[in-house]
Amino acid sequence: MAAVPYGPMTAEPLKPQAPSTARVSIESPNWAFEPFWPGQRFLATVTDGTVLLTDADGAQVNDSFAEAVAALRDAVLTDAVIDGIWTAQPFLGAASAERWAAATAGTDGDEPPAVDLATLETRRAFVAVDLLSLDDTSLLDVPYQERRRLLASIIREDGHVRVTPAVKVPVNSWFHAWRTNGFKRAIAKQVNSHYIPGRINPDWVVVPLQAELPRGATRLLWKPRKPKQVVD
C-alpha cells in the first residue's frame, strides 16, 4: 500500500480534498487553471498493478466501476495514489451525443429536455487531477506544481485515462475552448499549495468561465466580495 498518512485500507480512509467557492484575488504567475470536471470523484490507489478505487467518502467502489479499474491498471506506470474524476466530459465535442441532443431539442415545437446532456454519453474516461503518493512516498506536502509534473510522468494517456490540462494566464483562449466543450467552471490552484485530504483547501478555488481577462492583464476575475453597506 502506498505510504500516505491515511489510506483506503486503514481505519481512517484517505479522502479527496475539496475546492473553495470563496471569492479571492487571483494573480499570475502564482495560479494555474484547470477545467472543472463533472462526474464521480475517486482516489485510485495503484499497488503492484492492482487498482483500488475509493469514493469521496472513502468507500471502496471497484465493483461498480470495473471499467475505470481496468483502464487505470493499463495506464498507470508505477505505484501511486491518484486523485481523479470518472467522467463523460472529454467526449463533449461536435459529434457527441450531447451536441446532437442540444442541436435537435425542440425541433418539433417541444421544450428542450430538462436533463443533464452529459448523461447521454456512454463513453467514460478517468481524468487525473492530482498525485498524493508516488512509490511509497507521500506527496501531500509537495507543492501542487511539482505534484502535477510528477503526475504527468507516470500516466500513459489514452482514450480512457487522461491528465487534466493546467494553464496559466493568458487564459481567455483556454476558457473559450472549455466553454465550447461544455464546461461551466474552472478550478484555480495556487502553484505552491499542499494537498489537505478530506478538507476544503482555500488554495483551490472554483471560478466561473463566463468572465474574460482584458488583454495583458495579470489579475483574474474572482476578487473578494465587497462588504455590504449597512443602512441605519
Give the phi and the psi of residue 118 in degrees, each rounded to 5. Answer: -65, -20
Three-state secondary-structure class, residue 200: strand
Cis previous bond, 90, omega within 30? no
Q: Which residues of 33-42 are buried (b: 16+ CB within 10 A; e: fewer)?
A: bbbbbbbbbb
pLDDT at residue 189 above 90? yes
Tell me the whole-structure pTM to 2 decimals: 0.80
Full DSSP string of 97-123: HHHHHHHHTTTTSPPPP-S-GGGG---
| pLDDT band per the 50, 70, 90 thresholds, residue 34 | very high
Q: What is the pLDDT of residue 199?
A: 94
| pLDDT band per the 50, 70, 90 thresholds, residue 159 | confident
Residue 124 cell numbers, joined: 467514460
Q: What is the pLDDT of residue 180?
A: 82
CATH topology for 18-103+118-220 is: D-amino Acid Aminotransferase; Chain A, domain 1 (3.30.470)
Q: What is the percent of the chain with per-residue pLDDT over 70, rounded to a whole number?
A: 72
Nearest alpha carbon to residue 84 among 111, 50, 45, 48: 45
101-135 confidence digits (pLDDT tens): 555 655 555 554 555 655 666 789 999 999 999 99
> Which of the listed ranges 21-30, 111-120, 128-137, 181-190 does the model predict with the highest average pLDDT?
128-137
Over range 89-111, report the average pLDDT: 58
Lookup result for grid cell 503492484: 48
Nearest alpha carbon to residue 130 among 176, 63, 197, 70: 197
| pLDDT band per the 50, 70, 90 thresholds, residue 224 | very low
Name the strand (E) or helix (H) holding 185: strand 185-190
pLDDT at residue 219 above 50? yes
